[in-house]
């Protein structure tokens, strides 16, 4: 019988009034910035207004991806699967065999951050004691993923890594 460990992580839900205050503050800040562009020369004001809207779009995209996303980690025997869910849509982001992992360490212990070809960010937070980084190799390229496993999931992965070595 296959062993299965499933964990879902997300940002803690904030009260409705607090979310509304954030939205109102963002709208007011964008409005003030656009109004301030009226004091600029005509040609420059248009460019700055577009730049403000692009930056606001990037900021909103960051908020949606970081604050509203839920990540599900599934460990089935020796296969670690990562899903990302936004609203009702869920898609598989990464699938790694545990025996392909080089290591899994707390993020604070990872010193060399520049050697990976791609780093998958699969956690709502990027700092803290419960944040881990895993490294694996595919097609002679090094990849890393950042995730937030609970103690049960981490121990199961660590146990399989120790058996491998």
CA distances from 30 to 19, 53, 113 (A): 17, 8, 35
Pick the range with the lowest mean pLDDT from 60-64, 94-98, 146-150, 153-157: 60-64
CA distance 12 to 131: 16
Q: Name every residue whose Cβ is closer than 8 Å to that of residue 92 and which is 6 or more positions away in sequence.
A: 81, 82, 83
Q: What is the pLDDT of residues 39-49, one digit of tens each?
A: 889 888 889 88
pLDDT surpasses 80 at 66: no
- The pTM of this model reads 0.78
- DSSP string over 52-115: HHHHHHHHHHHHIIIII-EEEEEEETTEEEEEEEETTEEEEEEEEEGGGEEEEEEGGG----SS
Q: What is the pLDDT of residues 119-139, one digit of tens each?
A: 899 988 878 888 999 999 999
Phi and psi dihedrals of 54, rounded to 5?
Answer: -65, -45
User: Looking at residues 42-57, what average pLDDT do you find?
Assistant: 87
Per the document, the length of the chain is: 165
Average pLDDT, the chain: 87
């Amino acid at each position: 019988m296959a062993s299965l460990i499933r964990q879902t992580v997300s940002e803690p839900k904030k009260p409705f009034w607090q979310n509304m205050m954030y939205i109102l503050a963002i709208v007011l800040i964008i409005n003030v910035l656009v109004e301030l562009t009226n004091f600029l020369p005509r040609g420059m004001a248009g460019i700055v207004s577009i730049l403000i809207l692009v930056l606001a779009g990037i900021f909103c995209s960051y908020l949606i991806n970081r604050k509203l996303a839920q990540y599900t980690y599934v460990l089935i025997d020796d296969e670690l699967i990562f899903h990302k869910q936004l609203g009702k849509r869920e898609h598989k982001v990464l699938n790694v065999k545990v025996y392909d992992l080089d290591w899994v360490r707390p993020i604070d212990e990872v010193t060399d951050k520049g050697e990976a070809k791609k780093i998958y960010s699969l956690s709502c937070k990027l700092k803290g004691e419960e944040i881990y980084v895993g490294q694996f190799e595919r097609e002679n390229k090094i990849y890393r993923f950042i995730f937030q496993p609970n103690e049960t999931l981490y121990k199961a992965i660590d146990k399989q890594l120790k058996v491998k070595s």
